[in-house]
Each structure stands twice: as structure tokens, then as C-alpha cells.
Amino acid sequence: METTINSPADLDTLKTLNTASWKALRRIGADANARLLAALGEGQAGLPDPATLEGLVMPTAHDGQRAPGLRLGDPRVMALLSSIAAFAHVMGELTNRSLREHMAARWSPDHTTSQATYDLRRLRLKGLIERVEHTNTYRVTPHGRSLAIFLTKLAARVIIPALTDLDHAVDPRSPAPRPLTSAWRDTRTAWTSSSPAQGWLPENLPQTENLPQTP
């Protein structure tokens, strides 16, 4: 992997061709490569344990400060997790402005400065990001990137497809139902064939639109 630096001035380094400038640019390039490789590895981490998930989705307290829970399935939270999982933060730091830009693309174009400040605070208290000392910028922690990538993939590859399948479980035109859809249809069939005296008539069966929604 190699990093190309087109303008040393972008990295607060002089353009002067001397040993000091060359070493500074080599160090910056090596650090950038190391951060990118680390981020790629963090995206392949194992499953989070139950205590980690509980600490994320439930309200917690840190040094006397209350951190609201990040509810899995909430559109704003999922957009927030997707935003900090972006590799743009590997090379550049996370700021209020950059977070608003990501949230505008993923959730709402009207995401305000105060909303971004609130989101940055709860991400920091949950340990997903950390403030760069003496600045108003943040960096995503290895724990935060790993958790954000896992939950973003979980929503995109498992939860949303499964709920979509259940929503269309009674559609006979489905060409190749997934296992979850087939299981739901089998359950409905079993309920339908049960004794009407127990109130298990077809019209009394749970409909897909009334299934519990992801919190």
C-alpha cells in the first residue's frame, strides 16, 4: 500500500526539498497507511459480547454524565453508526461539520449543528469516538469502528432483509422465499389447521404488519 502526497502544504509541511521535509512526509505517509490497515482489520472483528451491546443500547452513566442509549434500528442511530464507520475518518478527523455532511446523506439534510453536537457527545461517552486533545475534532476508536461496522452490516444484511421477507410472507409470487419466510408460512399453516375453538382462526393470526418492530 502506498500513499501519494500531492501538496505538502495540505499537511502543514514545507515544500522545501531537504532531509527534514522528506522525513516528515515519510512519517505522515507511514502513519496514514498504518491507520488505514488498522481500520481494515477492525472491520473484521468478532461478535460483540452481550454486555457490550447492552452498554450501547441502554442509557449509561460515565463520570457522572448520562449517556443516552443508541437504539439499534432507530433510523438516526443507524445513520450515525454508518457515518462513523466511513473510511473518510481514517485520514481526516471527525468534526461537527463532517458529521453533519454524512448525516445529511444518510438520514436528514436538515441535521443541525446542535443535533451533531448531541450525537458527538453520546458517541464520545459510549467510547465510540475520542476527542483530539486541545481541539474540537474527534477520532473513531478501534472499539467504535469495530462496533459501528458490525451493527451497520447486521442491519443491512440481516435485519432489513428479514423484515422485508416477513412483510411479503403472504405474497405467493415470491420466487425463492428465504428460510425465515418459509418458517413463518409453516407456522401460519399450523395455526390455521388447529382447533377453531381455541380462537386460532386465520383472521386471528398475527399479520406481518403487526409484528414487533425493531427498537
**Whole-number CA gyration radius for the chain:** 24
CA distance 39 to 145: 7
pLDDT at residue number 208: 43
pTM for the complete prediction? 0.60
pLDDT at residue number 153: 86
Largest alpha-carbon pair distance within the chain?
90
Residue type, 126: K
pLDDT at residue number 205: 44
Nearest to 39 by CA among 146, 130, 156: 146
E strands within 68-186? 129-131, 138-140
pLDDT at residue number 29: 73
Instruction: Provide CB contacts within 8 A for 135, sequence distance 6+.
Output: 93
What does the pLDDT profile of the chain (215 residues) look like in tens digits?
A: 566 766 767 666 767 777 777 777 777 777 766 666 665 655 555 677 888 889 999 999 988 899 999 998 899 999 999 998 887 766 677 899 999 999 999 999 999 999 999 999 999 999 999 998 888 899 888 888 889 988 988 888 888 777 777 666 555 455 555 676 677 677 777 766 654 544 444 444 444 444 444 44
pLDDT at residue number 40: 61
DSSP 175-200: SS--HHHHHHHHHHHHHHTS-GGGT-
Q: Are 1 and 33 in contact (CB under 8 A)?
A: yes
Please count the other Cβ atoms lying within 10 Å of the Cβ belonging to residue 175.
4
